[in-house]
Amino acid sequence: MSDELPGLNPPERLLCGPGPSNVEPSVLDAMRQPMLGHLDPDLHDILLEVVDMLRRAWRMPDGLVLPLHCTGTAGMEAGLVHLLEPGDTAIVARSGYFGRRIAEIARRCGAEVIAVTADWGEAVPNERILQEVDRHPRARLVAVVHAETSTGVEQPLAQLAEEIRGRDVLLMADCVTSLGGVELDIGGWGIDYAYSCTQKCLAAPPGMSPVAVSEAALERIRTRRTPLPFSFDLQLLEKYWVERPPTYHHTAPILSIYALHEALRLLLEEGLEARWARHAEAAAHLQQGLTERGLELLADPEHQLAPLTAVRVPDGVDGKEIQGRLLREHGIEVGGGLGPAAPAMWRIGLMGRNATIDTAGRVLAAFDAVMAEEPAVAAAT
């Protein structure tokens, strides 16, 4: 006798946390297209289309562009294992959870890490990063988080890249929450290694990490003394993704590649500037609504990120309880603070298809409903 097991039946959610965001319906449809084998010549044409669209999304006309088949964290790790060798010095800007993670992975690569820190909600001042570069002329890498999802802070990356130009050091940027949501010009600004993910402003499922690697970074990789981990080896992956005829490296996640193809097509069809503007407008609506309600935003207003808004939980309010009620009663996911050191906060993401004034309004209305019953808030009003 065979077991009758229940089928999968996940509930509908509005995903307005730090990611993942809701997947575009046409991206889900793309994953239902006929499966091809990873060595099928028709798939190889699709790979080249993805690379071409990704170049336009990153604004990266030269160097190497491709999506790694991995998480955002692994895209981070891939950059660090390529650009650092034991004994190298890396300067890491650290003002939140993900800057800390970069520093930790760099340390595990055997690098000496010079951390340049700032408080939660602050960007790391570029002058302080540059001071460390001048103090450590043999440093091989500067790494920053462009869009720090743990605090809602945007690091002024274009200015940093401009000021660092001419110094003999590579610049790596975490663009996990900025690709497709915030202005980026990886080629024009001169970023040497940028990585992102598929599950935030691209509105595709998690599982891929698009990267862009400059000519200077590729030259550094070619002259390494120590070998690279096989699974991440960008030179081997280029032989599959870009060189023709392709060389097998691993069985590619075909359906995730279809999803990314459609997500990039939607991004370019909308237009990069229009997409960034949509994220900015939705965020402005949300942030204005939150401050009008007397809530305090965590990020320094000068460096407030659009796709992610961190809000301080008011004194006397149980932030986790509110978060739980938003999920249970309104089907809306928002995030809390990330890591034990984080101050009490909610993190609200308006990313990808959720970056609309309408969605911002839905989140505000749900907050109003649950906060109205919060004793600390009712007592104060």
CB of 161 or CB of 371, closer to ligand PLP:
161
Least distance (Å) between residue 255 CB and ligand PLP = 18
| Closest residue to ligand PLP: CB criterion | 72
Confirm or reject binding of residue 307 to ligand PLP (CB under 6 A). no
Whole-angstrom distance, CA of residue 59 vs CA of residue 149: 22
* One-letter identity of residue 122: E
Q: Coil, helix or strand for 324?
A: helix
Q: Which helix (H) or strand (E) holds 335?
A: strand 335-336
Q: Coil, helix or strand for 99?
A: helix
Q: What is the dihedral of CA 12, 13, 19, 24, to 10 degrees?
A: 50
Site string for ligand PLP, 198-227 (x = CB under 6 A): --------x---------------------
CB of 21 or CB of 317, closer to ligand PLP:
21
Of positions 33, 36, 73, 281, contacts ligand PLP by CB under 6 A: 73
CB of 275 or CB of 347, closer to ligand PLP:
347
Confirm or reject binding of residue 177 to ligand PLP (CB under 6 A). yes
Report how many residues bind ligand PLP under the rule CB under 6 A: 15
Whole-angstrom distance, CA of residue 159 vs CA of residue 68: 28
Query: Which parts of 104-133 interact with ligand PLP (CB under 6 A)?
Result: none
Of positions 176, 212, 257, 267, contacts ligand PLP by CB under 6 A: 176
For ligand PLP, which stretch binds (CB under 6 A), given 8-16, 72-80, 87-95, 361-369?
A: 72-80
For ligand PLP, which stretch binds (CB under 6 A), given 27-35, 127-135, 157-165, 169-177?
A: 169-177
Of positions 58, 98, 232, 240, contacts ligand PLP by CB under 6 A: 98
**267-284: string of b/e by CB count within 10 Å (b at 16+)?**
beeeebeebbebbbbbbe
Whole-angstrom distance, CA of residue 322 vs CA of residue 347: 12
CB of 58 or CB of 325, closer to ligand PLP:
58
Site string for ligand PLP, 133-152 (x = CB under 6 A): ------------x-x-x---
Question: What angle do the packed helices 272-292 and 254-270 form, to 10 degrees?
Answer: 80
Q: What is the DSSP string of 208-275?
A: -EEEEE-HHHHHHHHT-SSPPPGGG-HHHHHHHHTSSS----S---HHHHHHHHHHHHHHHHH-HHHH
Least distance (Å) between residue 199 CB and ligand PLP = 7
Query: Which parts of 5-24 interact with ligand PLP (CB under 6 A)?
Result: 18-19
Confirm or reject binding of residue 99 to ligand PLP (CB under 6 A). no
Q: What is the DSSP string of 341-381?
A: TSPSEEEEE--GGG-SHHHHHHHHHHHHHHHHT-HHHHHH-
Confirm or reject binding of residue 50 to ligand PLP (CB under 6 A). no
For ligand PLP, which stretch binds (CB under 6 A), given 25-33, 34-42, 104-112, 174-182?
A: 174-182
- Joined together, the tokens standing for residue 61 give 């006309």
Site for ligand PLP, rule CB under 6 A: 18-19, 71-73, 76, 98, 145, 147, 149, 174, 176-177, 197, 206
